Structure 1
Amino acid sequence: MIQLADNEKKGYCQHTVEDPLKLKEGYCHFNQTGQKDFLNKMIAYEPGCSKITFELQTFRKKQAEVVVEFISQTAFRFRMYPEAGKTYCENSVLPKTDTIPMTIKEEEEEITASTERLMLRFQKCPWQMSVYLDGEELTKEQIKDQDVGQKYKSVPTGFSVDENGRVTDTFETMYMYSDEAFYGFGEKFTDFNKRGQKICVWQRDAQSTNSDISYKGMPYFVSTQGYSILVNTFTRTHFNMGASSGVSYTMETEDPYLDYYLFANRNMKGLLADYTEASGRSPMIPRWAFGFWMSKMSYLNRAEVEEIAEKMNEFGMSADVIHIDAWMDMFGNASELLSFDEKRFPKPEEMIAELRKKGFHLSLWMFPYVQTKITVDGTQRVSRQYLSMKERGFLVKRTDGEPYIFSPGEGDAAGWGVAALDFTNPEFVLYMKERVKRLMKMGVGVIKTDFSEEVPEDAVFWDGSTGKEAHNKYTLLYARTIYEASAEAKKELGESALLWGRSGYSGSQNYPANWAGDSSAAKNNLAAVLNGGLSMGMSGVSFWGFDIGGFYNCDYEGRRCIPSDDEYIRSVQMGLMSPLSRSHGQSTPREPWVFSRETQKTFLKINKLRYRLLPYLYSTAYETHYKGLPMMRAMVLEFQEDWNARNLSRQYMLGESLLVAPVFDQEIVKVYLPKGSWTDFYTGERLEGGKWITAEKRLDQIPLYLRENHMIPMLQEAPMHIENRNFEKLVVILNLQEELETHYYDDGVCGKLFTKIVNETLIIESAKMKIELFEVYSEKEIHNCVVNKNAWKLEKTEHGFRATRG
């Protein structure tokens, strides 16, 4: 360690009395209950090739340590240990990462650590870290958030201790710029811009999708300043994003140390790319997953499942997945997990094969618990599965070594007593993987991983961790186990894998996909659901959907009932313009044929449109896989420089080309079109951007708009089911004003398209795209069309041109 000379500034870092809290002038003091302490001044530092360590004195004269490492030219890891020299057991989301060299320089009042693009300035006294990107200030710690009595409203970076002096939590306090906005934090259903909110990342069975409680909170967020932060822990975290003070925000974790990563990039897409490069990019999911999924709670036997499959084909709807919740033998004699109830589903392998012949893949429900007691023929007895899992040591325990029995959901009316399966036990993980692989090899397409958010804090896991440390991690371990088993089995079959997960955490993008949990059928609830989807996208997760039709709906007296036609169709419209599309309901049906004839026609219209859009959706999915960008994109992500886009959360971009404006309960549907020329997707009518427009409120369509100098590849006709082969006979819709150069992705294909208008001739160069027709919208006059140096026939339409092979 290099010891620093005494360079304290009189009246700020120099304490003249034994108890600094007695100072009334020249030094800020506390206005909070509890015993807090914070970093005050640098005592020494130790430079290294890729790490710098600081020895610091705290306000209360204790000795702390800060360690900083660069993991790339534009990202670093910050760790604070309140007790220097102590060994800490870390609970990292991103464990040890590669580091790069840094340049360290000491000056009179500060020390700097730099890469070619990023510079960190560490003020010696008072301690303050400032971050600079390409020579310009990006962000900094807040050390001056005081009130008129010189008391701190937000205590600088530090920690809290209990009455015994034990560190109970640590926190980082950051300067909040006057125009700074924040996005992400996982699937949060509150306002999309999280400035002014308090956020707790502690997974819970939310039992709705319209409050600050959520199934998939994540300690990761993006700032409009040009940086994002991952608090690197599974333990409960708290974020106060300017709710208590308008000039600072705090990140607090219930760990005895602080660990976070900061990624710097002025471009928001670049931030997500940098973050997912470090935390993982989504594997590609099966082609059929982008079709329509039909479900309710639940189809109860094989005959009902086969009847639904027949009805969907007879109705003429395009669909690819049937889901069953109640398929397992949970109340009979099965002692093994994930076993079909063959009384209700005889010859399940034969059933699955027959469904595949009809064009349907099977999705099956599971949860990560076992019931302790079951009722058979009116008699209650101990569950054989519970006894089997207990005997093998596969259950999460209490401190006395017995299985921990609890309720699986908050306010659970059924009063279930369950024990949690222990995904930290490698022997159990192997057992569970074999059970999942068995199902995959039977032909099952996907497992729906329900629940997992309610493991108690005082539980004890096989690996020694407590429920406090592993509560959030449990949701990720659950998903990882089921996804990895599915992927291993599907690889042998030459197929891709996915799951359908309710819970998750930072890193969930590695185990796709997710849905939004138990949503209401109410139209205004759709807006809250959309907040969750957009926030998931800003948290690095792309493959997401929600329960189309609403999972729950009831009348005034609390009786479960189907949603109204209007509620159903508005949900269908947004759901079929989401990355993934599953209809699901609690007890009551969500099949379109139970609604009015007008609603049935409207359903089929949007259903067929989604299937025609499959090439665009699949290509966008590959962009997620390659670049880490979400399919459902907040307007601010695509139009970062447009300040009007910062708080837009009632519309979104599906991929980079298509603007989607769902209709909820608005009397007047207002849509903001960013600067540029847009076309109405249905008519081709040209609309000038940079302003709000009023969209026509129609029950039979959702407002859609095509972006300037972008394309949408489509199918000429909607298939009934998705075949496992590359898309052909494409119709490409172009909104062309200047020129367009873009990519198109399919399995094993990286296609390219370049278009421009020269002397009234539309010139198109395409590679690896099997195109039959171009629909072109442009303000420029076009008289000829040449595709790959061949003349195509050009026909004038009401708002554009149609080009076909000559």
Structure 2
Amino acid sequence: MFGKIKFYEKKSNDVSIEFENGRASVDIITPSIINFFSTLSTERRASKAVENLKRMPGKITVDFIDGQVLVYTEKLKVSITDNFMVDIFDLNGKRICSDYRGEDKPFVRRGNDDDGNIAAEEGHQLEEERKSQKIKILKQLNPGSYFYGLGDRTGHLNKLGYHYKMWNTDNPNPHVESFETMYKSIPFFVALEKKTAYGIFFDNSYETVFDFGKENSNYYSFSAVDGNLDYYFIYGPSAKEVIFGYTLLTGTTPLPQLWTLGYQQSRWSYAPEKRLQEIANNFRKKDIPCDVLYLDIDYMDGYRVFTWDQQKFPNHEKMLDRLKGQGYKIVTIIDPGVKKDKGYSIYDQGLKNNYFATDRDGIPYVNRVWPGKALYPDFSNQAVRHWWAENQKILVNHGVAGVWNDMNEPASFDGPLPDDVQFNNDGRLTDHREIHNVYGHYMSKATYEGIKTATNKRPFVITRASYAGTQKYATVWTGDNQSLWEHLRMSLPMLMNLGISGFAFCGTDVGGFGFDCTPELLSRWVQVGAFTALFRNHSSASMRDQEPWAFDEKTESINRKYIKLRYRLLPYFYDIMHDEETTGLPMIRPLLLDYQNDENVYGINDEFMSGSNILVAPVVEQGKTARMVYLPKGNRWI
């Protein structure tokens, strides 16, 4: 594709290489972090994830030998050959990562019809996917390789053999191992081979695909339907150093306020006010600690964002003040969809100032979500983000302590947003394909900045959809899970991979959002939740009650015990989150981060470290009262 190397030039920390059919650059960020870039679609645009980047390249030397451009940093040797083929070595000559030289060739999939010439459904879908990809990078896949990250993907901790698509998706069906799309798009992974770790961050907000040997066991790949070739190689050799490098690029989670690490109770929905007050009183009456109560969509007037239903909550300011006196913080949900309703101030302001995404003719695009016909704020426009940030005062000035951003994939009831919906993109017009995966990211950024300005306190923002770097602005949860034992089991590798992906502050809906929870399942889930950063019980409308006291005295007692244990450990958890601001290391983490020299831990799905000092091995199977625990080598365990 690129052809032969014609010449190269070095300017400061950047090596530019001219090929027969294009130009590429090798940008040394630090001695361990290198950005590989080529303009394939549009001019280079500001990253949505990497902000305020400070380069510390160290000493760099460049040479040209035997047709190779050789770039040496203080940690790495990089070889670039014809067709922009890249090989990376340590300074001892050990090969760390190499581009694959063979043919891009998926394994054979055979049809099953009478004529034998129609591809199987999955094979057909994959072939269409391959045809749509304008950019594809193939890397050599060696025996004994492990892959982690990509956010909260379903499946096992180790992603070898999996195929995932980065396209933020609100799918209400029960999540299973075969799901390729979820609510978040975090195009970053850590590879581990022969006890050496490196990471790759593919900074492309279009739909991207990651295949770790499912397509062909000789290579792994990452690809995109559009945009530019733009990825960062991050050397360890420890996985901890890779995460440090990745969060150096995309940011770490700011130290949260202490109350956000307490127990949180939610439901769709605690309404009217009488029901919310009943929940608040029960926690105090039953001696179960709780810091946060949530209000889901039913607190709003006809689902109009930044409003209150005056019948369900006739004096919400007085209510919020009363709950504050009982020691509660209130977090309210906000969706991006603005009801199409003349006379409704948010709609009128957005329409007047051209703040909504439009069709190709400049007419505001309309779809349907909870309020009915709704318009979508163009959060890719700085002016819109500023307006949305200002609106946070409507909530926090009345006593709301945090904001919960939901439905921001963005979700839409009348089919997905068309590809050609137009966005401002901070003055560089683009379409939905480029903005979709960062829509929730930008919404969280606006919310975070608005709360910070309005309160001068550390904001608490929780979001369902996100992109790489959202950890700077929001905590996340794994979305609409179900009250299923399989979802409890699956939550452990999901949370561990979120942590590896830079999201130190994350959790699940404890007990499960959909389906009916059972006493045993809630008991086991709260035992896990007590050791995760976000500890929130949340359940759906029409499901049975799921509060700690909703079942029987035994279940209530177990919940009380572990919620109180959580509060005893809060100083420890707060220290972890404080250290994370510097290291990027999460609270819940796979054992391999602390015990990389013990290869037995590389695939453990059902144990995790809570910080570096507590190993958590929960029971995640119905009816079990005991389990085997693997203790990593190198420690004296108590």
SS state at 2:437 partner: helix
Match of 2:421 in 1: 459
| Alpha-carbon distance in 1 for matches of 2:527, 2:261 | 15
- Spell out the pairing of 1:784-803 with structure 2 (5 A cutoff): none
Pairing 1:260–2:244 present? no
The question of whether the paired residues in 2 share the 8 Å contact of 1:396 and 1:421 is answered with yes
In our comparison, the structure showing a higher alpha carbon Rg is 1
CA shift in 2, pair 1:619/1:147, >3 Å: closer
| Alpha-carbon distance in 2 for matches of 1:68, 1:253 | 20
| Alpha-carbon distance in 2 for matches of 1:482, 1:677 | 43
Match of 2:98 in 1: 140
Kindly provide the CA deviation profile for residues 292-332 of structure 1, in whole angstroms up to 9, marking residues without a partner as x: 11111101122222221111101110111111113544329
Q: Pick the aligned partner of 1:304 from 253, 275, 294.
A: 275
The question of whether the paired residues in 1 share the 8 Å contact of 2:385 and 2:442 is answered with no
| Alpha-carbon distance in 2 for matches of 1:148, 1:460 | 35
Q: Pick the aligned partner of 1:606 from 562, 571, 578.
A: 562
Alpha-carbon offset, residue 481 of structure 1? 0.6
| Alpha-carbon distance in 2 for matches of 1:223, 1:389 | 45
SS state at 1:621 partner: helix
CA shift in 2, pair 1:677/1:250, >3 Å: closer
Pairing 1:371–2:371 present? no
SS state at 2:458 partner: coil
| Alpha-carbon distance in 2 for matches of 1:432, 1:350 | 25
2:324 maps to a residue whose letter is: R
| Alpha-carbon distance in 2 for matches of 1:677, 1:404 | 58
SS state at 2:407 partner: coil
Match of 2:572 in 1: 616
Match of 1:506 in 2: 468
Match of 2:438 in 1: 473
The question of whether the paired residues in 2 share the 8 Å contact of 1:487 and 1:498 is answered with no
- Spell out the pairing of 1:27-66 with structure 2 (5 A cutoff): 38-57=1-20, 63-66=21-24
Match of 2:546 in 1: 590
Count of aligned pairs between the two proteins:
593
Match of 1:131 in 2: 88
CA shift in 2, pair 1:382/1:198, >3 Å: farther
The question of whether the paired residues in 2 share the 8 Å contact of 1:209 and 1:529 is answered with no
Alpha-carbon offset, residue 209 of structure 1? 4.1
Kindly provide the CA deviation profile for residues 556-581 of structure 1, in whole angstroms up to 9, marking residues without a partner as x: xxxxxx31111221222212221111
Pairing 1:397–2:362 present? no
SS state at 2:217 partner: coil
Pairing 1:243–2:243 present? no
2:7 maps to a residue whose letter is: A
Match of 1:665 in 2: 621
Pairing 1:343–2:317 present? no
SS state at 2:628 partner: strand
The question of whether the paired residues in 2 share the 8 Å contact of 1:636 and 1:646 is answered with yes
Kindly provide the CA deviation profile for residues 253-287 of structure 1, in whole angstroms up to 9, marking residues without a partner as x: 22253011111110111111111112111111110
CA shift in 2, pair 1:315/1:258, >3 Å: same
Match of 1:67 in 2: 25
| Alpha-carbon distance in 1 for matches of 2:234, 2:563 | 40
SS state at 2:445 partner: helix
Match of 1:320 in 2: 291
Measured on the aligned residues, the alpha-carbon RMSD in Å equals 2.6
SS state at 2:629 partner: strand
CA shift in 2, pair 1:423/1:168, >3 Å: same
The question of whether the paired residues in 1 share the 8 Å contact of 2:265 and 2:538 is answered with yes
- Spell out the pairing of 1:379-394 with structure 2 (5 A cutoff): 386=347, 389-394=350-355
The question of whether the paired residues in 1 share the 8 Å contact of 2:252 and 2:584 is answered with yes
Structure with more of its chain in strand, by fraction? 1
Match of 1:105 in 2: 63
2:384 maps to a residue whose letter is: F
Q: Which moved more, 1:225-234 or 1:289-298?
A: 225-234
The question of whether the paired residues in 2 share the 8 Å contact of 1:371 and 1:386 is answered with yes
Match of 2:524 in 1: 570
SS state at 1:239 partner: strand
Alpha-carbon offset, residue 595 of structure 1? 0.3
| Alpha-carbon distance in 1 for matches of 2:391, 2:39 | 43
SS state at 2:134 partner: strand
2:599 maps to a residue whose letter is: W
Match of 1:763 in 2: none
Kindly provide the CA deviation profile for residues 237-268 of structure 1, in whole angstroms up to 9, marking residues without a partner as x: 11111111112111112225301111111011
Alpha-carbon offset, residue 444 of structure 1? 1.3
| Alpha-carbon distance in 1 for matches of 2:419, 2:103 | 34
| Alpha-carbon distance in 2 for matches of 1:307, 1:96 | 47
Alpha-carbon offset, residue 56 of structure 1? 2.1
Alpha-carbon offset, residue 167 of structure 1? 10
The question of whether the paired residues in 2 share the 8 Å contact of 1:285 and 1:512 is answered with no
Kindly provide the CA deviation profile for residues 357-408 of structure 1, in whole angstroms up to 9, marking residues without a partner as x: 11111111110112337xxxxxxx9977545533442221111222212245
| Alpha-carbon distance in 2 for matches of 1:167, 1:189 | 24
SS state at 2:4 partner: strand
1:49 maps to a residue whose letter is: S
1:349 maps to a residue whose letter is: E
Kindly provide the CA deviation profile for residues 539-561 of structure 1, in whole angstroms up to 9, marking residues without a partner as x: 011101111111100xxxxxxxx
| Alpha-carbon distance in 1 for matches of 2:461, 2:154 | 22
SS state at 1:636 partner: helix
Alpha-carbon offset, residue 203 of structure 1? 0.6
| Alpha-carbon distance in 2 for matches of 1:395, 1:465 | 14
- Spell out the pairing of 1:191-340 with structure 2 (5 A cutoff): 191-207=156-172, 208-210=174-176, 211-225=179-193, 226-326=197-297, 328-331=299-302, 337-340=305-308
Alpha-carbon offset, residue 585 of structure 1? 0.8
CA shift in 2, pair 1:167/1:303, >3 Å: closer
The question of whether the paired residues in 1 share the 8 Å contact of 2:264 and 2:292 is answered with yes
The question of whether the paired residues in 2 share the 8 Å contact of 1:423 and 1:474 is answered with yes
2:248 maps to a residue whose letter is: E
| Bigger relative contact order, structure 1 or 2 (CA pairs below 8 A, ≥6 apart) | 2
CA shift in 2, pair 1:277/1:197, >3 Å: same
Alpha-carbon offset, residue 426 of structure 1? 3.4
TM-score w.r.t. structure 2 length? 0.87
2:455 maps to a residue whose letter is: K
Match of 2:387 in 1: 431
Match of 1:750 in 2: none
TM-score w.r.t. structure 1 length? 0.70
| Alpha-carbon distance in 2 for matches of 1:146, 1:508 | 33
Q: Which moved more, 1:450-459 or 1:240-249?
A: 450-459
CA shift in 2, pair 1:459/1:106, >3 Å: same
Alpha-carbon offset, residue 608 of structure 1? 1.3
Match of 1:541 in 2: 503
Alpha-carbon offset, residue 206 of structure 1? 3.0
Alpha-carbon offset, residue 148 of structure 1? 13
Structure with more of its chain in helix, by fraction? 2
Alpha-carbon offset, residue 146 of structure 1? 7.7
| Alpha-carbon distance in 2 for matches of 1:415, 1:359 | 32
CA shift in 2, pair 1:351/1:92, >3 Å: closer
- Spell out the pairing of 1:157-196 with structure 2 (5 A cutoff): 169-196=134-161
CA shift in 2, pair 1:268/1:349, >3 Å: same
SS state at 1:671 partner: coil
The question of whether the paired residues in 2 share the 8 Å contact of 1:186 and 1:505 is answered with no
| Alpha-carbon distance in 1 for matches of 2:219, 2:525 | 38
Residue ranges of structure 2 left out of the alignment (5+ in a row): 108-130, 411-416
Alpha-carbon offset, residue 72 of structure 1? 0.6
